[in-house]
Amino acid sequence: MSQAKIIDGKAFAAKLRETIAAEVAVLKAEHGLTPGLAVVLVGEDPASQVYVRSKGEQTLAAGMHSETHRLPADTSQSELLSLVERLNDDPAIHGVLVQFPVPDHLSQATIVAAISPDKDVDGLTVTNAGRLASGLPALTSCTPAGCMALLKDVLGDLTGQRAVVIGRSNLMGKPMAQLLLAADCTVTIAHSRSLDLPTICREADILVAAVGRAEMVRGDWIKPGATVIDVGISRFPSRDPVAAAAGKTRLVGDVAFEEAKGVAGAITPVPGGVGPMTIAMLLANTVSAAKRINGIAE
Ligand code: NAP
Which CATH number is 142-277 given?
3.40.50.720
Check if 10 is active-site. Answer: no
Measured between alpha carbons, how far is residue 132 from residues 124, 137, 297 in Å? 11, 7, 19
Which pLDDT value is given to residue 298?
83
- Per DSSP, 194 falls in state -
Q: Do domains 31-117 and 142-277 have the same CATH topology?
A: yes
User: pLDDT band at residue 47, thresholds of 50, 70 and 90?
Assistant: confident
Q: What is the Cα Rg of the chain in Å?
A: 19
Q: What is the mean pLDDT of the chain?
A: 97
- Can you list the positions of beta strands (E) in 80-223? 95-98, 162-166, 186-190, 206-209
Report whether 204 contacts 163 (CB < 8 A).
yes
Q: What percent of the chain has pLDDT over 70?
A: 100
Q: Is 55 helix (H, G, I), strand (E, B) or coil?
A: helix
Rounded to two decimals, the pTM is: 0.97
Domain ranges of the chain: 31-117, 142-277
Give the model confidence (pLDDT) of 233-280 as tens digits: 999 999 999 999 998 999 999 999 999 999 999 999 999 999 999 999
- Class of 31-117 per CATH? alpha beta
241 Cβ contact list (under 8 Å, min separation 6): none
Question: To 10 degrees, the CA torsion angle through 97, 101, 107, 109?
Answer: 60
Give the model confidence (pLDDT) of 164-214 as tens digits: 999 999 999 999 999 999 999 999 999 999 999 999 999 999 999 999 999
71 phi/psi in degrees, rounded to 5? -115, 150
Check if 74 is active-site. Answer: no
Give the model confidence (pLDDT) of 76-92 as tens digits: 999 999 999 999 999 99
Q: Judge if the beta carbon of residue 281 lies within 6 A of ligand 1.
A: no
- Closest C-alpha residue for ligand 1 atom 35: 232
Q: Which helix (H) or strand (E) holds 81?
A: helix 77-89
- Per DSSP, 292 falls in state H
Give the model confidence (pLDDT) of 117-130 as tens digits: 999 999 999 999 99
| 2 pLDDT higher than 90 | no
